[in-house]
Amino acid sequence: MVRQPLTAEQIAAGQRLGVALRAARAGRSLVEVALAAGISPETLRKIEAGRLPAPAFGTVVCLSQALDVPLGDLADAWLADMPVRQAS
């Protein structure tokens, strides 16, 4: 299976997600949050920097729990400014 390259919109969405996660982390260390979420600090660093714009759903769920941020808030950050798609 060949993975399609991310679109500009998806990359921008990943950057918004990274900003939201950094803001939610506030005074907590990156290492502390990453370990609480069960991911490596480097993975969290990449997500926050927008270098991993489409993290796995499970990763986002675990970060949501570790940061005590509703999953819907993170979804809203990712979806902001995304074009509305019609159901097929």
pLDDT digits (tens, 9 = 90+) for 33-45: 999 999 999 999 9
Q: What is the mean pLDDT of each run of 10 residues along the chain (88 residues)?
A: 83 93 94 97 95 92 97 92 61
Sign of CA dihedral 70, 73, 74, 75: positive
Q: How far apart are CA 58 and CA 71, in angstroms?
A: 11
Q: What is the pLDDT of residue 22?
A: 95
Q: What is the pLDDT of residue 86?
A: 47
Q: What percent of the chain has pLDDT over 70?
A: 93
Sign of CA dihedral 6, 12, 15, 19: negative
Q: What is the pLDDT of residue 71?
A: 95
